[in-house]
Structure 1
Amino acid sequence: MSTCAPSRDKRRCHDMAMIVTDVIMTLAREKTQDGKVSLHDLERIAALISGGSMVLDAAYIRQEESCRKFHQLPKGNVGARSNPFHRLMVRPFEHLLAGDGAVLRREYLPHYFEFLDHALEKRLEAFERHCRTIIQALMVVHGNNLTWDQFYADGRTIKTLQGALKLLRAYMESPEGQRVWHGCMMRPIGDLPAPAMAQVHHIHQVLLETARGLEAAE
């Protein structure tokens, strides 16, 4: 399947135009003479369509809800395939991954996630499971309109970030944690060379400062 193919939901929203077109073409064929339709007949067809019909009324009712849901989806919706805990642990330095103030390219994030595996060990699975539980609870309220910003702002999410960063900070400040941090982060990935020491250090400091700030707010 082509990667440029429109989504199924978006095609469904355009079904209304197809239904209207089918009705117009059916009426036009009835008025056709020698393969032509007069302007007067087209105006009558347009007036008939704009006045509504049982066919179009039923079609509008059928399409309205699905189209409204699709077009009202806000930017940044939570995807079922996303790892909410990974997203949460990137949040402290997310602003440093893009734009004019970018410090580190997103392509290096797998190294960071590998470091999290070392730092949190068995606790990692519990954090991931807890974040998915929060997502499920929020979806009961927001449905498919749930955004990442709503997830980040939830009190349960903030407490989860506090707990995870507290553990992360303790590990990062230990000799082993410092060694593993550099071992994980100071590596090339794909066609990209290893990041500069200053880049990795900047991310390191942001994580520590965020952890201290959240601990002070407890």
Structure 2
Amino acid sequence: MNGPTGKRRCHDMAMIVSDVIMTLVREKARDGKVSLHDLERIATLIGSGSMVLDSAYVHQEEACRKFHQLPKGNVGARSNPFHRLMVRPFEHLLAGDDLVLRRDYLPHYFEFLEHALEKRFEAFERHCRTIIQALMVIHGNNLTWDQFYADGRTVKTLQGALKLLRAYLDGPEGQRVWHACMMRPMGDLPQPSVGQVNHIRQVLLETARGLEAAE
């Protein structure tokens, strides 16, 4: 509910009330002073309402209602849910203090996934979209990615995809394709180091093993 000045709309409401109070205080002031009795009368007047305040209250109520009716979800209709799901295991390594690999390199990872999963890649993508559609029946436009990730069907999908990925990476072809895809520069960015791509690979394998153990 923050406006362009950084204030909340409720602060605007408080300013309106303050302006009315100060106007009444100035009218009652004598030699720059206001008696306690006059302040109590002003407070009573404010509490009982006035045309100025009534209008302000109605305007604020409408503004707040519109704000709270806005969709709170962040799952876009044109998003790629399977892409996002397959990044989830190492998402924490793409930014912040734990940065291992910049997001700019993710297209190389998605290219690897298409090699590894082949036709199943599109099937996984369709399945993830089906899950989102089912969740939107419940949550509507308030559906968030966290709700998608936490859904049992999504967890099972990630489990199945990583199991296939792990089997592929265990073979010589998978290792060759992994390095061929991941060890490339991206635009003006240099080629990632072996340590960087191996770290991502290790996290994927550990996540796969963890999900398999939880079956």
TM superposition score normalised by structure 1: 0.72
| Secondary structure of residue in 1 paired with 2:138 | helix
What's the C-alpha RMSD, in Å, of the aligned pairs? 2.9
Q: Which runs of 4+ in 1 moved over 3 A?
A: 59-66
Match of 2:166 among 136, 148, 169: 169
The aligned residue for residue 50 of structure 1 is: 53
2:94 aligned with 1:91: no
| Secondary structure of residue in 1 paired with 2:90 | helix
What's the CA shift for 1:141? 1.2
What's the CA shift for 1:101? 1.1
Q: Which amino acid aligns with 1:103?
A: V
Q: Which amino acid aligns with 1:66?
A: K
The aligned residue for residue 66 of structure 1 is: 66
Give the direction of change, closer, same or farther, for the CA distance of 1:101–1:63 in structure 2 (3 Å limit): closer
The aligned residue for residue 183 of structure 1 is: 180
2:134 aligned with 1:134: no
Give the direction of change, closer, same or farther, for the CA distance of 1:215–1:176 in structure 2 (3 Å limit): same
The whole-number CA distance in structure 2 between the counterparts of 1:206 and 1:147 is 24
The whole-number CA distance in structure 1 between the counterparts of 2:195 and 2:102 is 13
What's the CA shift for 1:140? 1.3
The aligned residue for residue 20 of structure 1 is: none
Q: Which amino acid aligns with 2:89?
A: P
Give the direction of change, closer, same or farther, for the CA distance of 1:60–1:102 in structure 2 (3 Å limit): closer
The whole-number CA distance in structure 2 between the counterparts of 1:181 and 1:69 is 46
| Secondary structure of residue in 1 paired with 2:69 | helix
2:152 aligned with 1:155: yes
The whole-number CA distance in structure 1 between the counterparts of 2:164 and 2:181 is 18
Report how many residues are paired: 177
Which residues in structure 2 correspond to 1:175-214 (within 5 Å)?
A: 175-214=172-211
Q: Percent identity?
A: 72
> What per-residue deviation string (whole Å, max 9, x for no partner) do you get for residues 76-113 of structure 1?
x2122221100000011111111111111110000000
Is the radius of gyration larger for structure 1 or structure 2?
A: 2
The aligned residue for residue 21 of structure 2 is: none
What's the CA shift for 1:196? 0.4
What's the CA shift for 1:144? 1.6
The whole-number CA distance in structure 1 between the counterparts of 2:205 and 2:188 is 29
Q: Which amino acid aligns with 1:116?
A: L
The whole-number CA distance in structure 1 between the counterparts of 2:149 and 2:54 is 48
The whole-number CA distance in structure 2 between the counterparts of 1:143 and 1:99 is 31
Q: Which amino acid aligns with 1:73?
A: K
Unaligned runs of 5+ in 2: 4-8, 13-25, 28-48
| Secondary structure of residue in 2 paired with 1:189 | coil
> What per-residue deviation string (whole Å, max 9, x for no partner) do you get for residues 134-171 of structure 1?
11111111122111111111000000000000011111
| Secondary structure of residue in 1 paired with 2:96 | coil
The whole-number CA distance in structure 2 between the counterparts of 1:128 and 1:121 is 12
The aligned residue for residue 34 of structure 1 is: none
The whole-number CA distance in structure 2 between the counterparts of 1:164 and 1:51 is 59
Q: Which amino acid aligns with 1:132?
A: R
The whole-number CA distance in structure 2 between the counterparts of 1:207 and 1:161 is 11
What's the CA shift for 1:216? 1.0
| Secondary structure of residue in 1 paired with 2:97 | coil
